[in-house]
Structure 1
Amino acid sequence: MTIRVGTRASALAVTQTTTVAEALAAGGALEYELVRIKTEGDVLKGPLAQIGGTGVFTAALREALLDDRCDVAVHSLKDLPTGVAEGLQIAAIPVRVDVRDALCARDGLTLAELPAGARVGTGSPRRAAQLRAARPDLDVVDIRGNVDTRLGRVKGLTGEAMVEGKHADLDAVVLAAAGLARLGRTQHVTELLDPSVMLPAPGQGALAVECRVADAAAGTALAGALADYDDAESRLAVTAERSLLARLEAGCSAPVGALARVEAGTLVLRAVVCSPDGSRLLHGEQQVQAAGAEEAVALGARLAEELLAQGAGDLMSQAGH
């Protein structure tokens, strides 16, 4: 049996999808082929929040599943909308990797060492707000493009002109550490930002392997490989984070950070909701012992209610959410 694995066509997406495909093939004694799908987020230009944010990188992959053009689709979980997609299910969440954001700066500089007025690029309102909170004196610049395009905009970092007219115009960029590691670009990281400074996006560092509901329950080699590939602790953590996001009614481009971890048998969820300019950050933390999926969902909803009571809705509305 050959499984058709849907992926975006970017280098990062193909790299992480190939890792998933190889694991599933090995787990089920299967062959695989990659099916490259062009998504709305790959075509449209401009800030993600303005072109739709939530789902722009995932809708076309889901359509390909429903149209039987592929058997599974691989998503960066942080890009996946929290709503249920009828007829589909997340059949596997493999072991989560580094959740942190990474600063890639000129001259080996850390966040604290960047000079006042330094230009720092990011396409994420969440990162932008937390950067402004930590360093109000920085000039945070909205950018788009794949990983190498963004790295190419930092002075002296790669030596390659990746964007015509926009080469080496920034002092630093902030990217997900997981993506840099998957692409073998960690040599450009000058600081891994601690979650106390910058909470990651809900689901950051995790992948979601989605398939049709019927295929997940079919008792086939693929269904078995998907079940074996699923990591219970990673699923528990991202379930809590995504539950919080869903209750806040915030999309994947909203200025919301969240991170859940299992610590000594307790599921601990931390979150932040930011104003776009970083002038106000609402932090919250909740925990539950001996958690399963239902408890993780309830935990996320409970922390979201706490943040909403503190005015999180007003902060998100300032960002257009």
Structure 2
Amino acid sequence: MPDPIRVGTRGSVLARTQAGTVRDALIAAGHPAELVIISTSGDKSMSPVEKIGVGVFTAELREAIRDDRVDVAVHSFKDLPTAAEPGLTIAAVPPRADARDALVARDGMTLGELPPGARVGTSAPRRVAQLRALGLGLDVQPLRGNLERRLGRIDAGELDAVILARAGLDRTDRTGLITETIDPLQMLPAPAQGALAVECRSGDEALVALVRRLDDPDTHAAVAAERAVLARLEAGCTAPVGALAEVVDSTGPDGAPVLELSVRAAAAAEDGGVVLRASRVGPVADAETLGRAIADELLARGAADLMAGTPGGAPESGVPG
């Protein structure tokens, strides 16, 4: 019997759940696999993520691959820096969970039902900017810690609501807590939100080929476009940038049905005073080109100045997914 494939993951409930889907997919494909928990400095720190630094939730996982303590690592894709990592490759992007943000509020309230001055927790500048742009008069407060700690602040009466990635709530069987799934027209999600990245050593060709079977081409293309926006803007993962790409049905020049990629993105001032939006539709194969074109449009309209002064380079949340 072959040795189990060692799947590296952070130790949080959400991270283990996400990595468990990859482990289970490998087992279902006939390859023994097991989880290996890697403790990261990001999980131990309660400092704001913009102060902790780049890759705080991913660096130790990548080191574990290099040290041969694990064979693959499962990341929340939105937490990965956009630059390629030498010696490692993202061999698969499995099917994506719901990419949208979700509100969990006391008394079952939606965003529109929260009274002015209601305390809403989120530390993501992207969410802060888009919330303020809605003009609801909410009191946006910092939010850190694992999923349980974040949700617990509502129960403790410290916050009236929190905004989280819906994917994390779905994956941990907390969908019933959601009081509103936020329409991307109101709040575009973080680039690659809801997607996982399965990473391994580039030189291990057999393992790369095996893991690549878990790849979902539509998700891979969508995430490539979204991350191309972020990379072209040279924005850190905490920058107030949202992006969402989706494969959609369309019609070709000859009238035949075709699949295209619809990409939307936004860059905002953190005070919500200005939000720049752009969109493109084009061939799925041109995912990165579409993303870069949208970023170029945003830059031409002043996105760089708009985001100046916003700290970047760290994941926008301490909770993957």
Give TM-score scaled by structure 2 length: 0.91
Alpha-carbon distance between aligned partners in 1 of 2:308 and 2:46, rounded to the nearest angstrom: 23
Conserved 8 A contact 1:200-1:259: yes
Letter matched to residue 233 of structure 1:
D
Give the match for residue 161 of structure 2: 172
Q: Structure 1 residue 279 and structure 2 residue 273: aligned?
A: yes
CA deviation profile, 1:74-93 (whole Å, cap 9, x unmatched): 00011111101001000010
Q: Does 1:320 align with 2:311?
A: yes
Identify the structure with bigger relative contact order (alpha carbons < 8 Å, sequence gap 6+).
2
3-state SS of paired residue (1:319) = coil
> Structure 2 CA distance, aligned partners of 1:36 and 1:275?
38
User: In the TM superposition, what is the alpha-carbon distance from 1:238 to its structure 2 partner?
Assistant: 0.3
What is the aligned counterpart of 1:15 among 14, 17, 30?
17
CA distance in 2, matches of 1:26, 1:223: 17
Which deviates more, 309-318 or 105-114? 309-318
Return the alpha-carbon distance in structure 2 between the equivalents of residues 83 and 225 of structure 1.
Answer: 24
CA contact 2:133–2:273 (8 Å) conserved in 1: yes
Return the letter of the residue paired with 1:26. A
Alpha-carbon shift at residue 40 of structure 1 (Å): 2.4
- After superposition, the C-alpha distances for 1:3-36 in whole angstroms (9 at most, x for unaligned) are 1110001110011111111101221x22222111
CA offset at residue 55 of structure 1? 1.3
CA contact (8 A) 1:103 1:173 kept: yes
Alignment of 1:1-321 (within 5 A): 1-27=3-29, 29-52=30-53, 54-155=54-155, 167-215=156-204, 217-218=205-206, 222-264=207-249, 265-289=259-283, 291-292=284-285, 295-321=286-312
Q: Which ranges in structure 1 are unaligned for 5 or more consecutive residues?
A: 156-166
RMSD: 1.2
Q: CA deviation at 1:141?
A: 0.3
Unaligned runs of 5+ in 2: 250-258, 313-321
Assess if the C-alpha contact under 8 Å between 2:241 and 2:268 holds in 1: yes
Q: Distance in 2 between matches of 1:21 and 1:251?
A: 30
Q: d(CA) in 1 for partners of 2:84 and 2:5?
A: 24
Deviation, 1:224, is 4.3
Q: Distance in 2 between matches of 1:62 and 1:138?
A: 39
Whole-Å separation in 1 of the counterparts to 2:33 and 2:239: 35
Shift of 1:225: 3.5
SS of match in other structure, 2:78:
helix
Alignment-mate amino acid for residue 40 of structure 1: S
Cα contact 1:122–1:140 (8 A) shared by 2: yes
Separation (CA, whole Å) in 1 of partners of 2:188 and 2:83:
22
Residues 154 and 135 (structure 1), Cα distance of their counterparts in 2 relative to 1, 3 Å cut: farther
- 1:44, CA displacement in angstroms? 2.3
Letter in 2 for 1:315: L
Percent identity reads 56
Cα distance in 2, alignment partners of residues 223 and 30 from structure 1: 13
TM-score by length of 1: 0.91
Question: Paired residue for 2:319?
Answer: none
How far the C-alpha of 1:43 sits from its partner, in A, is 2.0
- How far, CA to CA, are the matches of 1:91 and 1:311 in structure 2? 35
Shift of 1:320: 2.8
